[in-house]
Structure 1
């Protein structure tokens, strides 16, 4: 039987207490915070992040830390959340923390592992996400993984005195074509 949480280069893992201090460092990077979320940028302590994790609704949110398979280094996190079991729909969020790890294919592999998990383990029908229009690298990863634009919340995000669109994207289970081989 294949391990659905392990790809060629990354592993989806249970969060460990020591991970949260490292993730806290990512929250001091304004670029990281402002691309990932529409909320105001604000540094978060490891304690804050761990508390948030401990308070997740385990019935509607599946949260993993992403580690390099080679050296077990923490790369990021990924979550399926706001799961509506009756409708088989979930939201997705993903982040690769260290700028030097971005653009290396870790995000694509992580996204594909999580989509495989969502569609084939959780039996989801559709996965949705929101992305700020300025985050072109993330948009390219989403499109290459099969996500399609479903709508635009025009000028919904304010950054540095300018307004930007927020794109809504979705992927149906029937349209998912894995881009990785499970181990």
Structure 2
């Protein structure tokens, strides 16, 4: 049987307590935080992040850390959340923390792994996400993975006195085309 959590270059792993201090370093990067979420940017401690993880609703949230296979370094995180079992729909969030690690295909591979998990293990019908219009690199990754635009929340995000659209994107299980070979 293939390992559904391992791709050619990355793996989805159980979060470890020591990971959260490293992740907290990413939260001092305003660009990272402001592209990740529409909430106000603010630094978070490792303790804050670990407490959030420990308080997840395990029946509706599936949270993984993304590690490089070659040396097990922490690259980012990916989560399925707000899982509605009756409708077989979930929201997705993905982040690669270190700017030096972005643009190298790690996010694309982690996305493929979590989508495979969502559709083939959890048997979801659809995965949705929201992305700020200024996050063009993430939008490209999502589109290349099969996500389609489903709507726009016009001018919903305010950054530096400017307003930006928030895009809603979705991918149906029937349209999922695996782009990663599982180990």
Instruction: Settle same-fold status: TM greater than 0.5.
Output: yes
Partner of 1:135: 135
CA distance in 2, matches of 1:178, 1:26: 29
Does the alignment pair 1:175 with 2:171? no
- What is the 5 A alignment of 1:105-116? 105-116=105-116
Partner of 1:76: 76
Aligned residues: 183
Partner of 2:23: 23
Measure how far apart 1:173 and its partner are: 0.1
Measure how far apart 1:131 and its partner are: 0.1
Unaligned ranges ≥5, structure 1: none
Query: TM-score under structure 1 normalisation?
Result: 1.00
Poorly superposed stretches of 4+, deviation over 3 Å? none
Q: What SS class does the counterpart of residue 109 from structure 1 fall into?
A: helix
Q: What SS class does the counterpart of residue 58 from structure 1 fall into?
A: coil
CA distance in 2, matches of 1:121, 1:81: 15
Query: TM-score under structure 2 normalisation?
Result: 1.00
Partner of 1:5: 5
| 1:72-115 deviation line (CA, Å, top 9, x unaligned) | 00000000000000000000000000000000000000000000
Q: What SS class does the counterpart of residue 79 from structure 2 fall into?
A: strand
Measure how far apart 1:118 and its partner are: 0.2
Unaligned ranges ≥5, structure 2: none
Partner of 2:155: 155
CA distance in 1, matches of 2:52, 2:2: 31
| 1:10-41 deviation line (CA, Å, top 9, x unaligned) | 01000000000000000000000000000000
